[in-house]
Amino acid sequence: MEEQLLDKSVIETGEMVLNMGPQHPSTHGVLRLKIHTDGEVVSKIEPIIGYLHRCFEKHCEKLSYEQIVPFTDRCDYLASMHMDHAYSLAVEKLLDIELPERVEYIRVIISELQRIASHLVAVGTFGLDVGAITPFTWTIRDRERVLDLFEALCGARLLYNYIWPGGVSHDLPPKFLERTIEFLEYFDPQIDELNNLLTTNKIFIERTADVGVLPPEVGINYGVTGPSLRGSGVNFDLRKNEPYSVYPNFDFDVPLGEGIMGTLGDSWDRYYVRVLEMRESAKIIRQAIEQLPDGDVHAALPKKVRPNAGEVYGRYESARGDVGFYIISNGKNIPLRVKMRSPAFCNLSVLSEISEGWMISDIIAILGSLDIVLGEIDR
């Protein structure tokens, strides 16, 4: 009898595979995590993706350059403007056209507003993941104001089709700048509130500090970009390192993780980098509004987008990291191939590495701190 109890086949101590998702509130979309656990300790994670796959890249082979824009919107639906912008930058590089200054400034204002909106969701849902519900409702409320601005701007609240190759679809509506300033005035104290409520909250710190440490080398090796990488103290921001548009005209800092609450590169650092980035974005918007020149936003809009044969790779710093569009043209009005580099995909791939040895409940925190959007990963 005693022998039997000690028999390994009776009391199994091996690993257990646990499926989290695809429908799980904390997976930020339809993501399935196959978690190999030993007890409650995670030994390995296999993210299984593809539930939101919509053949974006194949679809692009049938659509003209202008028609692709609404589909890029649908990749990263929390930062649609960034996708429009990234794609338009690549196409403009291929077309080799100069944009009016005003267009560039408008784009910067819109992109930074979008960054604020996107980070607000990231920060709010991260709090939600680790159990703080109030901050989520607050951040969503503030994001709503940004969406209202966008609605006035182009009529849509989520999928804009606003930034086009060669320009933007509309000039700014009347009173847009005033309303933006008004929003920024309102928004600054909200960040302080958020810091009081969530960032420095003891429970929140306990849940996130020291958890899921991403060492800088590992992050670089995995191709992690954006706030997730900067949380590990790596100073890499395309707006500074490979400036596009009119970013060199602005004075702003790139917030980096410092390990204030724990180790450098932990979940809290990644979170805090986003909070700080919102402040920087607000700073950029203020400067851009001051410098905004006059001009015709449709001046450089090509009648027909028909680039010469060739290929181009455009990079862009989106809310999630380094978005890349690789476009091959064969001289027609339909691209031969569009390939998109998805930052969230790379960020997600590091999950298994950094969550080894953590408990299942910590996986949620780590995943939340990576801020993935499945629409972009599966595309």
Partner 1 sequence: MSEYFNNIFYGVKSFLTGMKLTLSHFKNKKELVATLQYPHEKWPVPERNIGFDHAEYNLIRSRLHVDIDDCIACMQCEKACPVDCIKIDSIKPPKDSDFDCGMTSNDTQKKMIVSRFTIDMSECMYCNLCVFPCPEECIYMVGGPNASKHEIDYEFSQYERDGMIFEFADATDEQIKEAGGEKWIEQRDAKINKHEEGIKLEGEVKIAVPPPVTTPVKADESKPVSKTAVKDSGTGELEIKSFNSISDKMCRGIAKKTFTAAKRAGKDQTAMLSDIAQALSDMGKMTDEIQTILDGLPAPVAEHVTEPEIEQKEPESIPVAAESPTIFEMDLKDLNGIEDKMARGIAKKAFIAAKRAGEDKVEAVKNALEDAGKLDTASEALLSSFTAAYSDSENLDPKVESAGDEKPESGEQSQDLPLFDIKDLNSIDEKMARGMAKKIYTAGKRAEKSRSEVIRDIKAGLSDAGKLDSAIEELLNRLETGS
- Residue placing its CB nearer to partner 1 in the complex, 214 or 338: 338
From residue 39 to residue 68, what is the string marking binding to partner 1 with x (rule CB under 8 A)? ------------------------x--xxx
Q: How far apart are CA 61 and CA 55, in angstroms?
A: 10
Q: What is the token pair recorded at 139?
A: 């951040």
Q: List strands edge to edge, sheet with 41-48.
A: 16-20, 32-38, 41-48
Cis ω for the linkage preceding 248 (within 30 of 0): no
Q: How far apart are CA 237 and CA 112, in angstroms?
A: 14
Identify which range of 44-52, 189-197, 317-325, 354-362 contacts partner 1 by CB under 8 A.
189-197
Does residue 171 belong to the site contacting partner 1 (CB under 8 A)? Answer: yes
The CA-CA-CA angle for residues 68, 72, 78, to 5°, reads 155
Q: What letter does residue 317 receive in the DSSP assignment? A: E
Contact indicator for 31, 22 with CB cutoff of 8 Å = yes
Does residue 181 belong to the site contacting partner 1 (CB under 8 A)? Answer: no
Does residue 131 belong to the site contacting partner 1 (CB under 8 A)? Answer: no
- Residue placing its CB nearer to partner 1 in the complex, 41 or 152: 152
Among 170, 221, 235, 331, binds partner 1 (CB under 8 A): 170
Identify which range of 21-29, 82-90, 196-204, 277-285 contacts partner 1 by CB under 8 A.
196-204
Does residue 70 belong to the site contacting partner 1 (CB under 8 A)? Answer: yes
- Count of beta carbons in the 10 Å neighbourhood of residue 372: 26
Does residue 332 belong to the site contacting partner 1 (CB under 8 A)? Answer: no
Q: How far apart are CA 55 and CA 358, in angstroms?
A: 35
Closest approach, Cβ 362 to partner 1, in A, equals: 19
Does residue 328 belong to the site contacting partner 1 (CB under 8 A)? Answer: no
Does residue 292 belong to the site contacting partner 1 (CB under 8 A)? Answer: no
> What share of residues in the chain are helix, strand, coil (percent, to 5)?
50, 15, 35
- Residue placing its CB nearer to partner 1 in the complex, 298 or 306: 298
Positions touching partner 1 (CB under 8 A) are: 63, 66-71, 134, 137, 140-141, 144, 148, 151-156, 159, 161, 169-171, 173-174, 193, 196-197, 200-203, 298
